[in-house]
Amino acid sequence: MSPIPSAAATSRIRPAATAPELLRNFCIIAHIDHGKSTLADRMLQLTGVVDARAMRAQYLDRMDIERERGITIKSQAVRMPWGVGDQAYALNMIDTPGHVDFTYEVSRSLAACEGAVLLVDAAQGIEAQTLANLYLALENDLTIIPVLNKIDLPAAQPEKYAEELAGLIGGDPADCLKVSGKTGEGVEALLDRIVELVPAPVGDADKPARAMIFDSVYDTYRGVVTYVRVVDGNLNPRERIAMMSTKATHELLEIGVISPEPVPTQGLGVGEVGYLITGVKDVRQSKVGDTVTNAGKPAADALGGYSDPKPMVFSGLYPIDGSDYPALRDALDKLKLNDAALNYEPETSVALGFGFRVGFLGLLHLEIVRERLEREFDLDLISTAPNVVYDVDLEDRTTVRVTNPSEFPGGKIGAVHEPIVKATILAPSEFIGAIMELCQGKRGDLQGMDYLSEERVEMRYILPMAEIVFDFFDQLKSRTRGYASLDYEPIGEQVADLVKVDILLQGETVDAFSAIVHKDKAYAYGVMMATKLKDLIPRQQFEVPIQAAIGSRIIARETIRAIRKDVLAKCYGGDITRKRKLLEKQKEGKKRMKTIGRVDVPQEAFIAALSSDAAGSKDAKDAKKK
């Protein structure tokens, strides 16, 4: 173990290089929590880009949420000087997010590099996202540098996992570098290895400029900051540039490199990675994956196509206080400036009032957006249970797309298509049985199983996405004592026997509770919701039936008994006819309320019924008290 040799490192620093042969563009890919951000921190320190005083943990994770949760959401690119022998090089490091929801960010970042450091925790070994990211890197023809991290941990088994890694990517286990992002051990050798192995970028400096946008972020003061990798030609300040997908032109107000804060430069040439500022105010005008060219001398072809990130999971977001609706709309508009993957449309719900149906990349994305709305914009929100997108064939041969279960068409319908994913689960082999049981219960179809080593197994399943988005990951973790890891990618759709279950309160459908579920699970869902609501809704002056129904067929029922108000309490003695009159009136009143179907449901009951976690049951108790 050696301390971080800051003095030694400083002596190796040379001025930034710009010639392509002196550039190395690389990224670090790893399973979540295997230590990418920590390793990036050490590299920043070792190359002298950030000095020890200014250093803070996870330097590149700039969002508060990123720091608190210890995860990377947005990609970051930093230029670092590094000398090998007498030669000065410039290394562009692109830190990428590790979570499945943000895979599209990873693949864009990979396209901007020639090499990838494949980082594996030496105490954990290969995990599901190690594989997923490795395959993405191989698809992009990147040179892979295998590295075992966290060798300072007492539980580290670098030799064992070096074998595993070599088995996976080929080569000699001895070529696997061993580092500790925490102590800095081995990081210097890794930087040397990057210079040695990662190919220099190639491109034609004389051609019209082509630069790929791999990230776009919104900055309150500067507008949109666009991160690019120049492939051909060069981009210079004050010239007009064009976005090739939209043909929109903008003036290049500023161009530069990040090291580690933005440093304006006189331009960016072949192979260089940096940022552009054009004064646009919306990230949608500077789309990730688009190609930037000179407006005056445009390139003929754009770089490899890109696809917009597609929302996979939808949920309704409603302000708890109805008067916050305009504030929620403004907040979503602002977030959208910085998150091109966010989609929303206004919707109204009988139960929850005015709100939005929002599309997300996955559950973590949903959680993060919700948390940012609550925290950065001070809003209190309710979100409805997340659901996936269904395509429903109608009798007239048209197909409707359903993003909100309450809009599921009634009457006679043809096939219902649901999205499916290819899931890869890595776990110690003792958990095979538990994982199979879980996946079968979730309508999974086992595709294959491989042993990575004697005690680690990789299982591949096709699963309906709807079964994954709910509590699959939590259940997987609890059944495998936290040892299993999961990665999944959407691979299309399948026809399934799905039905819409409605929940009726006194004969009226409560839209927020409708769900699309598999036929075999409809009854269980109906009973679960009816029982939950019975506990949550306070007794009324009249009897309230709670029913679960598929179309007009009732599949479950609970009843909230009426409280019989003692209308005679104030009648001391007196004549019986008066009493009778009062009782008659009460009966009529009850009848009227029944026909109007007015049930007093405290909003807290809706919130509690919609949340499936422990906090939900606490809300439930609070709601009942009120």
Ligand X SMILES: Nc1nc2c(ncn2[C@@H]2O[C@H](COP(=O)(O)OP(=O)(O)OP(=O)(O)O)[C@@H](O)[C@H]2O)c(=O)[nH]1
Cβ-closest position to ligand X: 98
The reply to whether 33 sits in an annotated binding site is yes
Give the nearest distance from C-beta 464 to ligand X in angstroms.
27
The reply to whether 149 sits in an annotated binding site is yes
Stretch of residues binding ligand X (CB under 6 A), selected from 145-153, 302-310, 390-398, 611-619: 145-153
Give the nearest distance from C-beta 148 to ligand X in angstroms.
10
Q: Which is nearer to ligand X, 426 or 504 (CB)?
A: 426
The reply to whether 234 sits in an annotated binding site is no
Say how far residue 120 (Cα) sits from the centre of its chain: 22
Residue 153 contacts ligand X per CB under 6 A: yes
> What residues from 21 to 40 belong to the interface with ligand X (CB under 6 A)?
30, 32-38
Sign of CA dihedral 387, 393, 394, 399: positive
Give the nearest distance from C-beta 127 to ligand X in angstroms.
11
The reply to whether 150 sits in an annotated binding site is yes
Residue 70 contacts ligand X per CB under 6 A: yes
Q: Which is nearer to ligand X, 152 or 308 (CB)?
A: 152
Contact present, 168 and 132 (Cβ < 8 Å): no
Q: Tokens in use for 188? A: 């210097």
- Contacting residue, 72, 75, 130, 286, with ligand X by CB under 6 A: 72
Sign of CA dihedral 63, 67, 70, 76: positive
The reply to whether 404 sits in an annotated binding site is no
User: Buried b / exposed e across 351-364, counting CB within 10 Å, b at 16+?
Assistant: bbebbbbbbbbbbb
Q: Which is nearer to ligand X, 124 or 506 (CB)?
A: 124
- Contacting residue, 152, 376, 391, 407, with ligand X by CB under 6 A: 152
The reply to whether 37 sits in an annotated binding site is yes
The reply to whether 232 sits in an annotated binding site is no
Q: Which is nearer to ligand X, 30 or 599 (CB)?
A: 30
Give the nearest distance from C-beta 369 to ligand X in angstroms.
17
> What residues from 377 to 396 belong to the interface with ligand X (CB under 6 A)?
none
Give the nearest distance from C-beta 455 to ligand X in angstroms.
23
DSSP 377: S
Interatomic CA distance for residues 89 and 81, integer angstroms: 6
Give the nearest distance from C-beta 335 to ligand X in angstroms.
21
Give the nearest distance from C-beta 67 to ligand X in angstroms.
9
Ranges of H-type helices in 198-312: none
Interatomic CA distance for residues 141 and 111, integer angstroms: 9
- Contacting residue, 25, 149, 291, 343, with ligand X by CB under 6 A: 149
- CA-nearest of 247, 248, 258, 249 to 225 is 258
Q: Tokens in use for 503? A: 């929940």
Q: Which is nearer to ligand X, 148 or 529 (CB)?
A: 148
Half-sphere exposure of 458 (CA within 13 A, CB side): 19
Stretch of residues binding ligand X (CB under 6 A), selected from 67-75, 261-269, 298-306, 551-559: 67-75
Give the nearest distance from C-beta 74 to ligand X in angstroms.
11
What distance, in Å, lies between the first and last C-alpha atoms of the chain?
60
Task: Draw the binding track, 167-206, toward ligand X (x: CB under 6 A; -: no contact).
Answer: -------------xxx------------------------
Stretch of residues binding ligand X (CB under 6 A), selected from 69-77, 271-279, 341-349, 456-464: 69-77
- Contacting residue, 24, 74, 150, 442, with ligand X by CB under 6 A: 150
Q: Which is nearer to ligand X, 34 or 250 (CB)?
A: 34
Give the nearest distance from C-beta 236 to ligand X in angstroms.
34
Q: Which is nearer to ligand X, 72 or 234 (CB)?
A: 72
- CA-nearest of 38, 29, 52 to 153 is 38
The reply to whether 28 sits in an annotated binding site is no
Give the nearest distance from C-beta 134 to ligand X in angstroms.
15
- CA-nearest of 7, 167, 27, 231 to 110 is 27
DSSP 138: H
> What residues from 43 to 62 belong to the interface with ligand X (CB under 6 A)?
58
Interatomic CA distance for residues 12 and 541, integer angstroms: 82
Give the nearest distance from C-beta 470 to ligand X in angstroms.
22
Interatomic CA distance for residues 35 and 153, integer angstroms: 12
Sign of CA dihedral 56, 58, 60, 63: negative
Q: Which is nearer to ligand X, 72 or 109 (CB)?
A: 72
Strands 254-258 and 273-277, by their bridges, are antiparallel
Other beta carbons less than 10 A from residue 523's beta carbon? 15
Give the nearest distance from C-beta 188 to ligand X in angstroms.
14
Residue 427 contacts ligand X per CB under 6 A: no
Size of the site for ligand X (CB under 6 A): 20
User: Buried b / exposed e across 537-573, counting CB within 10 Å, b at 16+?
Assistant: bbebbbebbbbbbbeeeebbebebeeeeeeeeeeeee
> What residues from 326 to 365 belong to the interface with ligand X (CB under 6 A)?
none
The neighbouring-strand residues paired with 372 are none
- CA-nearest of 442, 459, 441 to 450 is 459
Contact present, 547 and 529 (Cβ < 8 Å): no
Residue 98 contacts ligand X per CB under 6 A: yes
Give the nearest distance from C-beta 260 to ligand X in angstroms.
16
Which DSSP helix (H) or strand (E) runs through 164? helix 158-169
- CA-nearest of 395, 411, 392 to 552 is 411
Q: Which is nearer to ligand X, 27 or 556 (CB)?
A: 27
Contact present, 96 and 106 (Cβ < 8 Å): yes
The reply to whether 38 sits in an annotated binding site is yes
The reply to whether 343 sits in an annotated binding site is no
Block residue for tokens 């109204």:
348
Contact present, 104 and 73 (Cβ < 8 Å): no
> What residues from 504 to 543 belong to the interface with ligand X (CB under 6 A)?
none
Q: Which is nearer to ligand X, 72 or 285 (CB)?
A: 72
Binding-site positions for GTP:
33-38, 149-152
Binding residues: 33-38, 149-152
Contact residues: ligand X, CB under 6 A: 30, 32-38, 58, 70-72, 98, 149-150, 152-153, 180-182
